[in-house]
A and B are shown apart, each in its own frame.
Chain A
Amino acid sequence: MSICIEKLDFSYGSHRVLKDISVDVADGTLVNVLGPNGTGKSTLFRCILGLNKNYQGTIIVNGKDIRKLSIRERAKEMAYIPQSHKPVYDYAVLDVVLMSASASSGMLFTPKQAHVDRAYEALDRVGIAHLAERPYTQISGGEQQLVLVARALAQNASTLIMDEPTSALDYGNTVRVLTCVRQLAEEGLTIIQSTHQPDQAFLYSDKTLVIHEGEVLAYGTPKETITEELISRIYGVNVEVNSLYDDKVRVCVPLSEVARKS
């Protein structure tokens, strides 16, 4: 088991955000976490990443209790891919990716040629090696997100945690980033990402974890978990789940629109 969460409970003050969460994620699985805003997805990620420490229960990543790992040891097990954001200062793309080298080094370290090579490999793997010398702020949002993916890859961790990687991206960039993520999962990385789109979960996940009001509502393959009842329950919207191409793909369509167009 790559990630093993058992009886996880977390509160901000008196507000209990995560309630008794138990989830197992096998190696090389792409998990989409689905749930409305404020339901605890980001808090769950923060707990897994070791950014929230005062949780109850255990989180085991690659057989190691993350509570017992140092900051650097944690960074070797998993990498975090935040939403692309505008940094305060402008760095070359290569320098952004190079930052990952701190995971494998001490306080007084500066990157060597070997780290530059690894950064290039990572950029190449997500298909944007040609952007290495461009300023990070002058590339598109989708490219920025891919740079952050490359940085996570260069960190050499086997688990990637992505918090709504595509929420700020246009359709083309969304597809490009998610295709890349899917490819990485097939190459053996364990990836957990949150999303707002049930359709994305159908297309780009091996398993879907549904969190509602801090609890696990469902966990399984997207086809098992994402049902009309579930969408109605967590989002308060009535949808029809339709299957396409002999059930290779499924999509959600809001019922109100189906009624209007018939």
Chain B
Amino acid sequence: MAKISGKNAPVRRKRTANLILLGLGILVIVLAILSFLVGRYPISPDKVVAMLADHVIPIDPFWTDQEETIFFNVRLPRVVMAMLVGCCLSSAGAAYQGTFQNPLVSPDILGASQGAAFGAAVAILLGFASFGISAMAFGFAIITVLLVIAVAQAARGNQVLTVVLAGVMVSSLFSAGVSFTKLIADPADQLPAITYWLMGSLTSAKPADVFMAFPPMFIGLVVLFVLRWKINILTMGDDEASTMGVNTKLLRMIIILAATLVTAASVAVTGMIGWVGLVIPHLSRMLIGSDYRKLMPASMLMGASFLLLVDDVSRLATTAEIPIGILTAFIGAPFFLYLITREGRKRR
């Protein structure tokens, strides 16, 4: 009898987790719809629906041209970008935290952000347009991580440790490079552009940015989603995982590459938005548990919601928009401090 009720328990647990995921999915949709409406120029819900429907069945416009421009060129790409970037940074953070068996790791642990920052700063110095800046940022983010992996492969010892160490070192190298570009940048226009890029913002998200960032994001997210159960096994350590039939080196590399792809694509179009990738996987873990089968989709959905919410705040709080990178840090940093003090208490 006890055994039968025991057999039902995982079903019950699965059902609860699925309900939570459903709730998170609904939350994303609600927040996305809300985000279409709010801003300096509020657009009423019926107009939003009508403008979207107009692309399927033509509707007599009862909205102004200005509203249409704002909606399709500013608000829609911005909302889509907030969701994509939140989803990407959170899933990359969750993936890294698993593969490096360390809950305090974030998506830029391997230097993707610093590499992107350096690429963007150099592009700004060279006077590139916005597409060129994004492309350079993306390219340098990928190059940085490949460099880190190459260094780690050449080094001896524990793979987890060497990869993270190489990441910290290469990251500080590119950070120095960014400082140098700031030093030689023209203080009239280039320096503010670099500084503003480093802060991270969704304000300048254009439809073209969305189309450019989407393919690498999509590929990376699919890979992370498909491999999510295997990350569970990696968290047990390489020796154990390997005796359970997992090719740990190969699996870790695939996950690193996928996570890097989505991080690089995010950073390239929005600049550095910190803390999302660290905080959201933790919140998701508290909500749904550590099993990556549930944790990965939960992180993706929560990340999307979180960034939508923070972006709405940044739009509404002041007339001159606060860059979202600053807001996420305002929320993320105190949370991080709370986390490490909590971890400390647990150890005692």
**Which residues of A are in contact with B by a Cβ distance under 8 Å?**
46, 49-51, 71-72, 74-76, 78-80, 82, 87-92, 94-95, 99-100, 102-105, 107-111, 116, 120, 124, 129-130, 132-133, 151, 155, 161
**Smallest distance from the beta carbon of B94 to chain A beta carbons, Å?**
11
Task: Give CA–CA (A94, B10) in the complex, Å.
Answer: 8
- With A82-B239, A99-B236, A107-B230 as given contacts, are A133 and B10 in contact (CB-CB < 8 Å)? yes
**Smallest distance from the beta carbon of A48 to chain B beta carbons, Å?**
10
B345 beta carbon closer than 8 Å to chain A: no
> 14 pairs across A/B with beta carbons < 8 Å?
A50-B242, A75-B243, A80-B240, A82-B239, A89-B285, A91-B291, A92-B10, A99-B233, A99-B244, A110-B229, A120-B6, A132-B10, A133-B9, A133-B10
**Which residues of B are in contact with A by a Cβ distance under 8 Å?**
2-3, 6-7, 9-10, 13, 98, 101-103, 226-230, 232-233, 235-236, 239-240, 242-247, 251, 285, 289-291, 293
Task: Give CA–CA (A73, B2) in the complex, Å.
Answer: 36
Q: In the complex, which residues of chain A have a beta carbon less than 8 angstroms from the beta carbon of B240? A: 80, 82
**Smallest distance from the beta carbon of B266 to chain A beta carbons, Å?**
24
Q: In the complex, which residues of chain B have a beta carbon less than 8 angstroms from the beta carbon of A71? A: 242, 245-247
Task: Give CA–CA (A100, B243) in the complex, Å.
Answer: 9
- With A75-B243, A110-B293 as given contacts, are A133 and B233 in contact (CB-CB < 8 Å)? no
User: From B239, which residue of chain A is reached at the shortest CB distance?
Assistant: A51
Q: Are A103 and B291 in contact (CB under 8 A)?
A: no
Q: Are B229 and A92 in contact (CB under 8 A)?
A: no
Q: Are A79 and B243 in contact (CB under 8 A)?
A: yes
Q: In the complex, which residues of chain B have a beta carbon less than 8 angstroms from the beta carbon of A80? A: 239-240, 243-244
- With A91-B290, A102-B230, A107-B230 as given contacts, are A75 and B6 in contact (CB-CB < 8 Å)? no
B244 interface neighbour in A108, A116, A120, A155, Cβ under 8 Å: A155
B245 interface neighbour in A102, A108, A132, Cβ under 8 Å: A102
A92 interface neighbour in B13, B233, B239, B247, Cβ under 8 Å: B13
**Smallest distance from the beta carbon of A211 to chain B beta carbons, Å?**
20
B interface: dominant SS: helix
Q: In the complex, which residues of chain A have a beta carbon less than 8 angstroms from the beta carbon of B291? A: 91-92, 95
User: From A131, which residue of chain B is reached at the shortest CB distance?
Assistant: B6
A133 interface neighbour in B6, B103, B245, Cβ under 8 Å: B6
Task: Give CA–CA (A107, B229) in the complex, Å.
Answer: 10
**Smallest distance from the beta carbon of A105 to chain B beta carbons, Å?**
8
Among B235, B236, B243, chain A packs the most CB atoms within 10 A around the CB of: B243
Q: Are B246 and A102 in contact (CB under 8 A)?
A: yes
Q: In the complex, which residues of chain A have a beta carbon less than 8 angstroms from the beta carbon of B293? A: 110
- With A82-B239, A92-B289 as given contacts, are A104 and B245 in contact (CB-CB < 8 Å)? yes
Task: Give CA–CA (A107, B101) in the complex, Å.
Answer: 20
**Smallest distance from the beta carbon of B73 to chain A beta carbons, Å?**
39
Q: Are B290 and A111 in contact (CB under 8 A)?
A: no
Among B6, B233, B247, chain A packs the most CB atoms within 10 A around the CB of: B6
User: From A71, which residue of chain B is reached at the shortest CB distance?
Assistant: B247
Task: Give CA–CA (A88, B245) in the complex, Å.
Answer: 20
User: From A72, which residue of chain B is reached at the shortest CB distance?
Assistant: B245
Q: Are B13 and A133 in contact (CB under 8 A)?
A: yes
Q: In the complex, which residues of chain B have a beta carbon less than 8 angstroms from the beta carbon of A90? A: 289-290
Q: Are A75 and B10 in contact (CB under 8 A)?
A: no
Q: Are A88 and B251 in contact (CB under 8 A)?
A: no
- With A71-B247, A155-B244 as given contacts, are A87 and B236 in contact (CB-CB < 8 Å)? yes
Task: Give CA–CA (A108, B251) in the complex, Å.
Answer: 11
